């Protein structure tokens, strides 16, 4: 049956990529349909119920700055929050939250169900409708054909998914969910370049059978015994009173006996016996991989993370495994506190199809099929946050295409989202890609705290940011800018400043006149202490700033030297970064380029010289030659 209504954007898959994609395109006014296997699993966390962390938290804040759902849904469902690296520089500070997985799904579903321009439909998609080289819709399992101008595919780990536990394996999208077999076959028929990757998850434990008295408690921030007394929020629109009750995590360790048990299962491990071909995430290895690779390490820390407020289920972070169940049973019970632990769900590994992201344009539209966009795990990434950021991005560009407008992509110096997209389309992946702060060369300016300052204006222009968020952002931006200017304009004269006051606030007497912005650059001077200087003489009348505004003013002052230097680097690269490469550019004419460089460039067809410069095998000399050629009008 041909469904009577036609859509602008169909999103296939209701995971973290799909839900952000659908919300984004609908927010931008595109008539959107989200097609997913099961409405009950919208926003489901396939693995651990945790959002954020270093690099990942940065992406979540960016999604939030662009009006996305992940951060605010985490505020509504987070049962433990921590600021990681809180004693380090602001660039690497990151928020991580433990979510109640039921509350998280509910928070996402509520947003989807109440989003204007968005319809939901539960059904597996088995086929894509393609006319010529353009996608025109999707067909479900029972033959319902939905027509659309664009399709965003976010099928996660489901495409030809196969679960492994020991030497047993079966087809599935993840435990308890069906695989997408027909869709995988259809994509193979369309000859999009693909490969196999794998990921894994630990067995889940019944908290009633864990002896917590033998484990070390790990409270979150804002809890008694936590690192700080302040309870963090994730979203720029988040409030502490949105958080449900907070819960601690617990820590135990593997030991020599655990390692022996794990080694005894190597001959029945699908990883070591060649049953699994897909490459797994190096940075999130299975416990058998850790014991194999770091054979001399006597113990590994295992975090016991609660899965929610209304369940006894615990996620033992650090023992992801696809060893046979009898080995899982023994290895769990070999650890202190877990001697009687009951496994509720076995751990497993899953292999699935992914598509080479180098076959995508910088909008995430496939080069081969117009109107077809890919986002999330199927682009070779791992992680909810990476998926959400890509989903939002693909949703934006699908909606822009429907409007007949140019695609949007933030630069590497503007956003981790820019780094993510740029890395994927220029370098591809050799293992599941996850975000790290070290991937960003301009990380000093890509901080969690200023994600709104970097992106909310762009989000508003795109139509992603609603009035409430825009008003809050505008107030913050204006307050920060007004106060920064005021600090620059007020001068402190040593003759008018009592020496004792100078020493109390500034550490020593000042020798000449300074403005307040200069004094704030000093490492030991905080904004609040500066405002208390000389009886509060320099505090602006009627100036009341909230902690996030003060943080912006302080960071901008203290790191201004470094930030200015990074800004100069960006400016230096800007002369070629956005130089467009014509779509039909004939690389064979640039004879000064090596044969290999010409081949690589002809294959990748980078859209700008900046993108070309980051393709592996393309040297700075090749870029100079291309620039000369383009300038000559060649």
| Binding status of residue 392 toward ligand FAD by CB under 6 A | no
**Residue 120 to residue 122: CA distance in whole angstroms:** 7
Q: Is 292 annotated as a binding residue?
A: yes
**Residue 336 to residue 210: CA distance in whole angstroms:** 9
What phi, psi does 305 have (nearest 5°)?
-105, 125
**Closest distance between ligand FAD and the C-beta of residue 89, in Å?**
24
**Residue 424 to residue 418: CA distance in whole angstroms:** 10
**Residue 541 to residue 531: CA distance in whole angstroms:** 11
Q: Is 14 annotated as a binding residue?
A: yes
Q: Long-range CB contacts (< 8 A, 24+ apart) of 506-513? A: 506/533
Query: Which of residues 194, 252, 322, 382 is near ligand FAD by CB under 6 A?
Result: 382
Q: Is 306 annotated as a binding residue?
A: no
**Angle 56-65/451-462 helices, nearest 10 degrees?**
40
Query: Which of residues 9, 22, 35, 555 is near ligand FAD by CB under 6 A?
Result: 35
**Closest distance between ligand FAD and the C-beta of residue 237, in Å?**
23
**Residue 111 to residue 18: CA distance in whole angstroms:** 13
Q: Is 166 annotated as a binding residue?
A: no
| Binding status of residue 24 toward ligand FAD by CB under 6 A | no
From 245-253, 254-262, 379-387, 395-403, span contacting ligand FAD (CB under 6 A)? 379-387
**Residue 346 to residue 176: CA distance in whole angstroms:** 12
What phi, psi does 152 have (nearest 5°)?
-110, 120
From 36-44, 397-405, 576-584, 587-595, span contacting ligand FAD (CB under 6 A)? 36-44
Angstrom distances, CA of residue 325 to CA of 166, 328, 344 = 7, 5, 12
Pattern of binders to ligand FAD over 263-302, x per CB under 6 A?
---------------------x------------------
Nearest of 429, 260, 431 to residue 360 by alpha carbon:
429
| Binding status of residue 23 toward ligand FAD by CB under 6 A | no
Residue (38 or 255) nearer to ligand FAD, CB: 38
**Closest distance between ligand FAD and the C-beta of residue 20, in Å?**
8
Q: Is 161 annotated as a binding residue?
A: no
Residue (291 or 349) nearer to ligand FAD, CB: 349
Residue (108 or 338) nearer to ligand FAD, CB: 108
Q: Is 43 annotated as a binding residue?
A: no
| Binding status of residue 130 toward ligand FAD by CB under 6 A | no
What phi, psi does 468 have (nearest 5°)?
-65, -45
Residue 367 CB coordination number (10 Å):
15
**Closest distance between ligand FAD and the C-beta of residue 377, in Å?**
4
The pairing of beta strand 118-122 with beta strand 94-99: unpaired
Query: Which of residues 376, 380, 606, 610 is near ligand FAD by CB under 6 A?
Result: 376
Residue (356 or 457) nearer to ligand FAD, CB: 356
Q: Is 176 annotated as a binding residue?
A: no
Query: Which of residues 200, 238, 278, 410 is near ligand FAD by CB under 6 A?
Result: 200
Q: Is 367 annotated as a binding residue?
A: no
Element (H, E) at 575: helix 560-577
Q: Is 253 annotated as a binding residue?
A: no
Q: 83 and 221 in contact (C-beta within 8 Å)? A: yes
**Closest distance between ligand FAD and the C-beta of residue 185, in Å?**
11
Nearest-5° angle of CA 425, CA 431, CA 435? 65
Q: Is 286 annotated as a binding residue?
A: yes
| Binding status of residue 384 toward ligand FAD by CB under 6 A | yes
Query: Which of residues 9, 11, 17, 622 is near ligand FAD by CB under 6 A?
Result: 17
**Closest distance between ligand FAD and the C-beta of residue 356, in Å?**
16
**Residue 134 to residue 128: CA distance in whole angstroms:** 10
Nearest of 143, 134, 151 to residue 182 by alpha carbon:
143
Q: Which two tokens stand for residue 6?
A: 């036609």
Query: Which of residues 32, 74, 199, 366 is near ligand FAD by CB under 6 A?
Result: 199
Q: Is 160 annotated as a binding residue?
A: no
| Binding status of residue 105 toward ligand FAD by CB under 6 A | no
Give Rg (Cα) of the chain.
26
Q: Is 264 annotated as a binding residue?
A: no
Residues facing 119 on adjacent strands: 33
**Residue 420 to residue 433: CA distance in whole angstroms:** 9
| Binding status of residue 331 toward ligand FAD by CB under 6 A | no
Query: Which of residues 30, 83, 180, 600 is near ligand FAD by CB under 6 A?
Result: 180
Q: Is 402 annotated as a binding residue?
A: no
Angstrom distances, CA of residue 267 to CA of 264, 293, 325 = 7, 16, 14
Query: Which of residues 77, 154, 169, 502 is near ligand FAD by CB under 6 A?
Result: 154
Q: 136 and 164 in contact (C-beta within 8 Å)? A: no
| Binding status of residue 57 toward ligand FAD by CB under 6 A | no
78-84, strands of its sheet edge to edge: 50-52, 94-99, 78-84
Residues binding ligand FAD (CB under 6 A): 12-18, 35-37, 41, 46-47, 124-125, 154-158, 173-174, 177, 180, 183, 199-201, 284, 350, 376-377, 382-384, 387
Q: Which amino acids are annotated as binding site for NAD(+), given as ranges? A: 280-294
- Annotated binding-site residues read 13-18, 280-294
Q: Which residues are annotated as a binding site for FAD?
A: 13-18
């Amino acid at each position: 049956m041909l469904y009577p209504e036609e859509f602008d954007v169909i999103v296939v898959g209701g995971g973290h990529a799909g839900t952000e994609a659908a919300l984004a395109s609908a927010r931008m006014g595109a008539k959107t349909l989200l097609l997913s296997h099961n409405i009950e699993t919208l926003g489901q966390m396939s693995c651990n119920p945790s959002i954020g962390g270093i690099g990942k938290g940065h992406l979540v804040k960016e999604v939030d700055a662009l009006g996305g759902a992940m951060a605010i849904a985490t505020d509504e469902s987070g049962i433990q929050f921590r600021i990681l690296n809180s004693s380090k520089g602001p660039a690497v500070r990151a928020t991580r939250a433990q979510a109640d997985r039921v509350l998280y799904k509910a928070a996402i579903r509520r947003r989807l169900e109440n989003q204007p321009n968005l319809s939901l439909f539960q059904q597996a998609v088995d086929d894509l409708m393609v006319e010529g080289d353009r996608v025109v819709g999707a067909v479900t399992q029972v033959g319902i054909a939905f027509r659309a101008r664009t399709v965003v595919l976010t099928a996660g780990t489901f495409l030809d998914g196969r679960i492994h536990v020991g030497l047993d394996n079966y087809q599935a999208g993840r435990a308890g969910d069906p695989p997408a077999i027909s869709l995988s076959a259809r994509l193979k028929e369309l000859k999009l370049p693909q490969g196999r990757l794998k990921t894994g998850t630990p067995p889940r434990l019944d908290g009633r059978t864990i002896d917590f008295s033998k484990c070390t408690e790990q409270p979150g921030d804002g809890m008694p015994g936590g690192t700080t007394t302040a309870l963090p929020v994730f979203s720029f629109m988040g409030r502490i009173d949105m958080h449900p009750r907070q819960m601690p995590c617990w820590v135990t360790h593997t030991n020599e006996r655990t390692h022996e048990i794990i080694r005894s299962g190597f001959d029945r491990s699908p990883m070591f016996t060649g049953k699994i071909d897909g490459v797994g995430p190096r940075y999130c290895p299975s416990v058998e991989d850790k014991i194999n690779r770091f054979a001399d390490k006597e113990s590994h820390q295992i975090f016991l993370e609660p899965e929610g407020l209304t369940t006894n289920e615990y996620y033992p972070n650090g023992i992801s495994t696809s060893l046979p169940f009898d080995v899982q049973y023994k290895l769990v019970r070999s650890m202190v506190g877990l001697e009687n632990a009951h496994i509720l769900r076995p751990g497993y590994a899953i292999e699935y199809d992914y598509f080479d992201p180098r076959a995508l344009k910088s909008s995430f539209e496939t080069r081969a099929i117009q109107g077809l966009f890919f986002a999330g795990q199927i682009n070779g990434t791992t992680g909810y946050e990476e998926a959400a950021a890509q989903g939002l991005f693909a949703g934006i560009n699908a909606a822009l295409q429907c409007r007949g407008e140019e695609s949007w992509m933030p630069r590497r110096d503007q956003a981790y989202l820019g780094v993510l997209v740029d890395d994927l389309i220029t370098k591809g992946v050799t293992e599941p890609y996850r975000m790290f702060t070290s991937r960003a060369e301009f990380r000093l300016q890509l901080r969690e705290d200023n994600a709104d300052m970097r992106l909310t204006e762009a989000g508003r222009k795109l139509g992603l940011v609603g009035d409430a968020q825009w008003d809050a952002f505008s107030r913050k931006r204006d307050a920060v800018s007004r106060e920064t200017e005021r600090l620059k304009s007020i001068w402190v004269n040593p003759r008018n400043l009592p020496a004792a006051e100078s020493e109390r606030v500034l550490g020593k007497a000042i020798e000449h006149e300074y403005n307040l912005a200069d004094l704030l650059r000093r490492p030991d001077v905080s904004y609040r202490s500066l405002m208390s200087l000389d009886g509060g003489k320099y505090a602006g009348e009627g100036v009341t700033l909230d902690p996030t505004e003060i943080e912006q003013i302080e960071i901008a002052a203290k790191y201004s030297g470094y930030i200015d230097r990074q800004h100069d680097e960006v400016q230096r690269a800007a002369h070629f970064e956005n130089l467009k490469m014509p779509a039909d550019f004939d690389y064979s004419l640039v004879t000064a380029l090596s044969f290999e460089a010409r081949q690589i460039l002809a294959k990748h067809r980078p859209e700008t010289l900046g993108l070309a410069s980051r393709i592996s095998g393309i040297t700075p000399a090749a870029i100079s030659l291309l620039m000369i050629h383009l300038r000559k009008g060649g």
